[in-house]
Amino acid sequence: MKTQMSKQKVFISGDEAVALGVRLARPHVISAYPITPQTIVVERLSEMVEDGSLKARYIHVESEHSAMSAAMGASAVGARAFTATSSQGLLYMAEGMHYASGGRMPIVMMNANRSLALPWSIFGDHRDSLSMLDSGWIQVYVEDAQEALDMTIQAFRIAEDAAVLTPFMINLDGFILTHTYEIVDIPDQSKVDSFLPVFKTPNKMSLEKPKSMGFSTSPADNMEFKYQQHKAMLDAKDIIHSVDKEFGKTFGRSYGGMIDSYNCEDADYVLVTAGSVTGTARIAVDNLRSRGIKAGLVKLRYLRPFPDEEVRAAAGDVKAIGVLDKDISFGYEGTIFTNVNSALAHLSIRPVSINFIAGLGGRDISIKDIEGIYHDLEEAVTVGKDKSFAKVRYVNMGVEIDG
Amino acid sequence: MIKVRWLGRGGQGGFTASRLLGKAASIFEGKYAMAFPSFGPERRGAPVLAFTRIDDRKITDRSEFSEYDYLVVMDETLLDESAVGGLVSDGSVILNSSSDRYANRDFNGRKVIAIDATTLALEILGFPITNTAMFGALVAASGVVTLASALKSIDTEMRPSIAEKNKKIVQKAYKMVRENRC
């Protein structure tokens, strides 16, 4: 019989999966301001606090700037703090985000990836989080609701590790993940409790031991602070790998750490993605493989710290790499493309690399679009030897700029 | 993979129906399902879409629907060529209509199953909310989930007082389509 009934499996949206993950992580403080398409996360959390199923303090602040400030205050006294936002809300937090990372406060934040105004748009792309790539926050991009829940639990564990102490941003594609319902396995609370022990900060501000967490520096020691912040982010890579492995042993699911590669072993053409479009690209890869084209896929799970070694190992020796960016850094190219190229620059023989800008402001990316990207890569390798080709291409636009 | 496109008006519960179907298939039948609304602001009375994908293996496709196996139309006035045009060649339209002009009709080989869901909803629920009637009709026409799973899905998604009435609607709509009395 096919029927399986498990209390652990639920049919929920990405937003609800994050809220359930947060509840399992037992934060002390949640401070948030609602914004589409994040709203359901904070609505569910406030309901959980209200009905007593989550013993936390919910602070409904008057703005995202205050949401970040309140989370910092909570983190400074050793509380586990969570917040969530999207788009313009994330940008309104920007000042506080640098404070939080500089103060080594392991706050966890969910960001519903959404376009930036103008034109005002509630639909998804990665321009919000990528514009905060240098804010000193760890950034992970998830592919489905299950990964969203699992990474919410892993996020606290990684951020709070004594070697890391760095705030953590979990990115979910707006609507495509936040508002899509799918089956999600809910881990046992007791297992989560042993996987994620109570947060103990080495930098606690308290009445017994008053200290300033809003310090200033002179030119004589500022660089040392920034160096340590950078080193902690680099050291986070090992912690990310070990936490993901341990998560796999405990809960039966792991995600590959910094990247997840699909069919890369013998691939000629590899597409690099981040977030939910990876799922669609998997089908395109299967279709191309069935036609004898050696297509592979690299899902960048983390963009900070950046998986440079992993990208080189997975795709360094292919014929061509495509990078799908739901972003443009105006006046240059997609930001993920810049980062991938910088990783490839360390190779003596580099594959052809092409940037594919797609999905801005929520534009659909179909399986056919992605198959077209692989055909472009194939063509660039065969034709490109004699002819220059556009390195930045716009999917579903019918235009080209460079060439 | 089975793809269902729900077409209705804001407030008619099309998205709820898409989730009820997804839940029935995944939680109660061990399959994989994905349900999502047409993204963006929702307005009462305006045409809205919802989608359900069902498969025996994990669903990873996150793109918009280019074609679908079933088109559920909750408001007859929304039925048009473009909506029907997205159906696969052997697809079906499940249509809420009180008129008999759709009897034995087809759209280029695509079957039309018409059911008077509004009258059924008014009779049992007292409101013209037709989503569960259309859910029952779709389950009967497609067999994509069993009636038992459809009822369980309602039990876990609705308050008991409302669930009872809606289960009655689903059962009746199911029977009407199965016995070809609509």
pLDDT band, very low/low/confident/very high, at A2 (cuts 50, 70, 90): very low
Query: Would you report the helix, strand and coil content of chain A in percent, each value rounded to 5?
Result: 40, 20, 40
Q: Mutation test of the interface with chain B: which of A3, A7, A11, choosing the one with the most B Cβ atoms within 10 A?
A: A11
The predicted-structure confidence for B58-86, as pLDDT tens digits, reads as follows 999 999 998 999 999 999 999 988 889 99
Q: For every residue of A324-361, which 3-state class applies, written as one string?
A: EECCCCCCCCCHHHHHHHHHHCCCCCCCEEEEEECCHH
The domain segmentation of chain A, as residue ranges, is 9-251, 259-394
Cβ-defined contact of A283 to B30 (cutoff 8 Å): no
In CATH, what is the architecture of A259-394?
A: 3-Layer(aba) Sandwich (3.40)
Q: Is B36 on the interface with A (CB under 8 A)?
A: yes
Whether the pLDDT of residue B96 is over 80: the answer is yes
Nearest chain A CA: its distance from B124 CA (Å)? 28
| pLDDT higher than 80, residue A390 | yes
Q: What would the two tokens of residue B25 be?
A: 């298939």
Residue A1 has pLDDT above 60, yes or no: no
Contact A181 B39 (CB under 8 A): no
Question: The domain spanning residue B46 has which CATH number?
Answer: 3.40.920.10
Residue B39: φ, ψ to 5°: -70, 150
Give the chain B residue nearest A283 (alpha carbons).
B61
What value does the mean pLDDT take over residues B156-179?
Answer: 96
Q: Which of B31, B35, B63 sits opposite A367 (nearest CB)?
A: B63
- Name the helix (H) or strand (E) containing A282: helix A277-290
Are A181 and B35 within 8 A, CB to CB? yes
Burial class (CB in 10 A: 0-12, 13-18, 19+), B154: buried
CB under 8 Å to A79, separation ≥6 — which residues?
A27, A28, A29, A199
Per-residue pLDDT of A334-355, as tens digits, reads: 999 999 999 999 999 999 999 9
Name the residue facing A11 among B27, B59, B61 (closest C-beta): B27
Size of interface A-B (CB pairs under 8 A): 80
Residue in chain A lying closest to B31 (CA): A2
> What are the C-alpha distances in Å from A52 to residues A39, A40, B69, B72?
20, 18, 44, 40
- The reply to whether A259-394 shares the fold of A9-251 is yes
* B22–A contact, CB cutoff 8 A: yes
Predicted pLDDT of residue A106 = 98
B35 in A contact zone (CB under 8 Å)? yes
Q: Is A324 helix (H, G, I), strand (E, B) or coil?
A: strand
Per-residue model confidence as pLDDT tens digits over A305-325: 999 999 999 988 899 999 999
The confidence score (pLDDT) of residue A387 equals: 64
DSSP code, position A233? H
How many domains in chain B? Answer: 1
Residue numbers of the domain that contains B44: 2-178
Contact B34 A279 (CB under 8 A): no
DSSP conformational letter for A147: H
CATH topology of domain A9-251: Rossmann fold (3.40.50)
The predicted-structure confidence for A105-152, as pLDDT tens digits, reads as follows 999 999 999 999 999 999 999 999 999 999 999 999 999 999 999 999
**With 50 as the cut, is the pLDDT of residue B180 above it?**
yes
The structure tokens listed for A247 are 């998560």
Residue of B nearest to A362 (CA): B39
Cα B94 to Cα B18: distance, rounded to the nearest angstrom = 14
